[in-house]
Amino acid sequence: MSFYAARQPILNKDKTLFAYELLFRQSLDNVFPNINDNEATAKLIEGLQFNLGLETLTDGTLAFINFTHDSLLDGYPLMLPKEQIVVEILETAKPGKKLLQACIELKEKGYIIALDDYEHQPLWRLFFPYIDIIKIDYQISSHEQIQQIIEEAKAFPHIKLLAEKIETYAEFEQALEIGCEYFQGYFFSKPEVIKSIAFKPSQISVVNLMGEVYKAEPSIAKITATFEGDVELSFKMLRYAQSPAFKRAKKIETIKQAIVMFGLTELKRFISLLFTAQFSQGKPQELTIMALTRARFCENMMAMNTSASEPSSAFLIGLLSLLDAMVDANIVELLDKLPISDEMKNVLISKQGESAHYLELCEFFELAQWQEADELCERHAYPVERSLEHFQQAVLWASERIKML
């Protein structure tokens, strides 16, 4: 599932980047979609929440985000981190007691607030103590209107002026001269459409589980709470725990019982299996089986090499090696959103390290490239027959685990 947003830079006086304004888009076509402002705001926030990385869209700077009158009253800005956004009140918002109270609450919580395409009305002056930035549309505001805004804002020195829709160098110089601190417009850069990856809530739960279970000291309490907070995940765990593959003296009735019964190694495998199932929805089941096969193969190969690191890390590397095919996205962008070590990322991106050799060997077996497999095994002193046995066992293991889930 893809998430689209247009972004346009907002610059400081010295033309260095201050922030980006983010605008909702439905595709790579850089046009506003045929939906109302409330829906556009809701969809943008939804995408940013599940995108796992607002900072990836803004290069770590602030994000100006448009909020309608209704979305402000409904508290939508509170769904995004105050350190990363500027709450931009759309020009269609009507000043009133409820909107003022919403602004006061946002300011008390530490949010930066801006007025978009501002045209002065006396009622807005009541908002000025809580406003940080006023955006002036340079294409529709007359010289007299701009001067009026400047005069009204003088009593509030904390307010900064932002000149938007600056299209020429002369306009930039003029806006700079009248005291504007920030600048935005085609003179600097047209909006650029960014395609990112939007994760579903269920996928985020599994990502969080994976991040926790692969820590040096995972918290069983946090893992249990995550499962207990998701009915679908709980059902899958209990069904998985009832599989004949696990020998148990009594029936499993709680999530905690299942976790204890699994042990850490099997719990890692199960969460990895959930991850693969969540991210390969809509894809052929063979892709899931192949990812699990690679995971199990790399794990077994790592275990065979007693001098190497923990086998579970090799399992995860094998599992993630097909992530880009599962979600049709760039592997580098995807890995940046996942809570895995830089060492694992380096293996998957740069193809360096012991696990990368296991992955390469697995691919040779998948494609029946026997000569290449023999040469790789000889180069790294892997026993050929045993390595092939590991691959065959991994295929069977993957198929069985899919049925269990």
Superfamily of domain 2-197: EAL domain (3.20.20.450)
- Is residue 50 scored above 80 in pLDDT? no
> pLDDT digits over 328-371, tens only?
677 777 777 777 778 888 888 888 888 899 999 998 888 778 88
Strand ranges inside 124-252, DSSP E:
133-137, 160-164, 182-183, 192-197
| Boundaries of every domain in the chain | 2-197, 201-404
Q: For the chain, give the percent of residues with pLDDT over 90.
A: 19
What is the rounded average pLDDT for all residues in the chain?
Answer: 81
238 vs 255: CA distance, rounded Å: 7
pLDDT band of residue 306 (cuts 50, 70, 90) is low
Q: For 201-404, which CATH superfamily applies?
A: Hypothetical protein af1432 (1.10.3210.10)
Q: Amino acid letter at 114? A: A
Asked if residues 34 and 26 have their Cβ atoms less than 8 Å apart, the reply is: no
Per-residue pLDDT at 5: 62
Q: Is the pTM of this model over 0.75?
A: no
Closest among 271, 292, 260, 263 to 226, alpha carbons compared? 271
b/e 149-166 (16+ beta carbons within 10 angstroms → b): beebbeeeeebbbbbbbb
Please report the pLDDT score of residue 347 as a whole number.
Answer: 86
pLDDT in tens, 159-218: 999 999 887 777 888 889 988 999 988 666 555 455 556 667 777 888 888 888 877 788
What is the C-alpha separation between 305 and 314, in angstroms, rounded? Answer: 11
Given a cut of 90, is residue 117 above it in pLDDT? no
pLDDT value at position 28? Answer: 38
> What does the pLDDT average to over 2-22?
77
Specify the higher pLDDT residue, 187 or 75.
Answer: 75
The pLDDT-based confidence of 230 (bands split at 50, 70, 90) is confident
For residues 292 and 280, the answer to whether their CB atoms sit within 8 Å is no
282 burial (CB, 10 Å; 0-12 / 13-18 / 19+) is exposed
| C-alpha to C-alpha distance for 178 and 316, rounded to whole angstroms | 57
Residue 73 has pLDDT above 70, yes or no: yes
Comparing CA positions, the residue from 365, 376, 268 lying closest to residue 312 is: 268
The pLDDT of residue 382 is 92
Residues 9 and 59: their CA atoms lie apart, in Å, by 11
